[in-house]
A and B are shown apart, each in its own frame.
Chain A
Amino acid sequence: MATAVPIEVRNLTMAYGEYVVQHDINFTVNRGEIFIIMGGNGCGKSTLMRSLIGLQRPAKGTVLYDGEDFWHVEAAEHERLKRRLGVMFQGGAMWSSLTLAENVALPLGEYTDLSSHLIDEIVSFKLALVGLAGFEDFYPAELSGGMRKRAGLARALALDPEILIIDEPSSGLDPLTARHLDLLILELRENFGTTIVIITHELASILGIGDSSVFLDTQTRTMIATGNPREALQSGDPRVRHFLTRGEA
């Protein structure tokens, strides 16, 4: 059942063997919110994302989707919860043996009863949304890194997920394309009520579109701030302000 808090991270500790990446992470993401996970290089942002999407079991704590414990439900329920997520990986993670159209069409063919014609149209529409109209028949290896990344977003959007999790959407993109993606993210939230979690350290995106955020600290290996990133810039923790001003504050 849908609640006002689709994502709740509770006492999460992530580790590789004995090495603790981050500990005691607690935050909630409200429905329709654009939530930013930020922090310096190597602070554990992508590891947190892997725990959010079911690729890495936390050492302690858990993640709740609409109150359901993602890491302690039955396997079938775990899979059902995963289908509510759309995930864009940092490098796009496009399947190299499939064309862009086939990549985007695969989840639609698997999980909907739509006609193949309508699926083709949806695929073209999604690719057009991310600025890749006409690239349907291209293989990922034939595209630049930025284009692969955008194609990855088109695939993440294929099933119009309730929750969209995006890893570093703007890195490697030119400023205009990055701005286009930010606008697209805002439109998705506006029109579909999509809850969007973005893992990034791109200041323009953090301050431009983020409603709320968590800051992961590399030194203490835990979160040191939550809340609106623009407010954090004005009056937040000095370490967060230092980060958001590129070390000038």
Chain B
Amino acid sequence: MANKRDARQWRLATQPLDASTLEITFSGRWCLDQRLPAPDDLASTLTAGTSRLTFRTNLSSWDSAFLAYLSVLIRLCAARGIQADQDGLPEGVRHLLAMAAAGPEQKIAGRGEGRHNFLHRIGAAAVEFFHGAPEMLRFLGEVIFSFGHLLSGRIRLRWRDLWWEIEEVGPRALLIVSVISFLVGLILAYLGADQLRMVGAQIFIADLVAIGMVREIGALMTGIIIAGRTGSAFAAKLGTMQVNEEIDAFRTLGISPIDFLVLPRIIALMLMVPLLTLYSGFVGILAGLLISTTIFDIGLFEYYNETISALELKHFAVGLVKGSVYGAMVAYSGCLRGMQCGRSAEAVGEAATSAVVTSILLITISASILTILFYQLGI
């Protein structure tokens, strides 16, 4: 019984053979499923006078844990100028150690240098951003160039792809746009009612909801929904095509991936987002109507008439222009990040995240610019 138990344990013994030679005896079981000693523990045993190391073994079983242990030991010996004589090791161990040592180790500069400090990372991010800006402009230029080709008839749009994209980004987004727009209309009505009730002007909830939804919030909410839903999908799909070298295949055939992949997506979103914006405004107004008539005792026709009188054609025009611009921003960001994607699953995830962040940033910037512009133009 004792022998069986011993055979299940690892054992290690060192014995000086002479003044300069140390013998290490491995016995028992040296396997991965055990808690083995740290190889560095032997470092103190290899005293200054040792110039040769020999091995003896009486192993019941061994696996790569034993090989890894020996690798460290042999490397330690080499670093200290000690000759490690492997003759006492089992033949299989020697073969596998030789196989592992056969391939030259690659030393690549800059690898494994550890993480950089906070300031370095900020600096690197800033440099990357400024390097990224020309890349964004170059991509914008390519897209404009491609639009030019389309308008001049030098390339043909694949209608089947365009219809597929239109269906994907338009009708299939209706449900989420409905839910979000209804809730936003509801919030807007409550917010307005709370303030307007103090001056006895609750009827103006209709004006607030109608103008707010049609002119600003409908477009903004639709843009953000589409950024999350469609922009990220564009980036993920194009990114996966990068990983699979499908985009490289287009390039090698002399087909512009911008013409083939990016243009239909941008056109689809520029067409669909304004329509979704109108729809969003309509759903928001319905939510306001529901709240006003059931909670705040405003008559159905009263609310309807107030809404009709508040809305002017220019509000629709502003909403449509904004929707169109936001759609273009989302399509641009999604396609840009997809086309810039690296060659791994990780990179696809980063591209999708980056597409959403870039879309929302561009939507916010363009919303500010358009609001100031329309104010200055008196629209």
Contacts and interface: CB of A to CB of B under 8 A. Distances in A.
Contact of A133 (B39, B40, B95, B103): B103
B34 A125 contact: no
Contacts of B93: 191
B100 A128 contact: yes
B64 interface: yes
Given A114-B35, A114-B36, A115-B38, A122 B96 contact: no
Interface in A103-121: 108, 112-115, 117-118, 121
Given A113-B35, A134-B105, A187-B92, A118 B342 contact: no
Contacts of A96: 344-347
Interface string B79-111: 000000000000011011001111111111001
Interface stretch (B66-74, B275-283, B322-330): B66-74
A135 to B, nearest CB: 6
B101 A128 contact: yes
Given A122-B64, A122-B65, A122-B68, A133 B345 contact: no
Given A96-B345, A128-B100, A134-B108, A160 B63 contact: yes
Contacts of B344: 96-97, 139-141
Contacts of B33: 112-113
A118 B111 contact: no
A128 B105 contact: yes
Contacts of B99: 129, 183-184, 187
Contact of A141 (B64, B106, B347): B347
Contacts of B69: 118, 121
Contacts of B67: 122, 125
Contact of B39 (A108, A113, A117, A190): A117
Interface string A155-186: 00101100000000000000000000001100
Contacts of B72: 121
B65 A118 contact: yes
Interface residues of A, number: 36
| Chain B interface extent, by class | 35 or more
Given A137-B111, A160-B64, A117 B40 contact: yes
A134 B96 contact: no
Contact of B68 (A121, A135, A136, A187): A121
B65 A137 contact: no
A114 B65 contact: yes
Contacts of B346: 96-97, 139, 141
B345 A97 contact: yes
A124 interface: yes
B112 interface: yes
Nearest to B104: A133
A118 B105 CA distance: 19
A132 interface: yes
A112 B32 contact: yes
A226 to B, nearest CB: 29
Given A114-B65, A132-B103, A137-B112, A125 B36 contact: no
B39 A192 contact: no
Interface string B5-38: 0000000000000000000000000011111101
Interface in B332-372: 342-347
A118 B103 contact: no
B86 to A, nearest CB: 15
B96 A191 contact: yes
A156 to B, nearest CB: 12
A131 interface: yes
Nearest to A131: B103
A31 to B, nearest CB: 15
Contacts of B102: 131
Contacts of A126: 64
23 contacts: A96-B346, A96-B347, A97-B344, A108-B32, A118-B68, A118-B69, A121-B39, A121-B68, A121-B72, A122-B65, A125-B67, A125-B68, A129-B99, A133-B100, A136-B112, A139-B344, A139-B346, A140-B344, A141-B343, A141-B344, A159-B32, A187-B92, A187-B95
Interface of A: 96-97, 108, 112-115, 117-118, 121-122, 124-126, 128-129, 131-141, 157, 159-160, 183-184, 187, 190-192
Given A96-B345, A96-B346, A190-B95, 12 more contacts: A96-B347, A113-B34, A115-B35, A118-B69, A121-B72, A128-B103, A134-B105, A137-B111, A160-B31, A190-B92, A191-B95, A192-B63
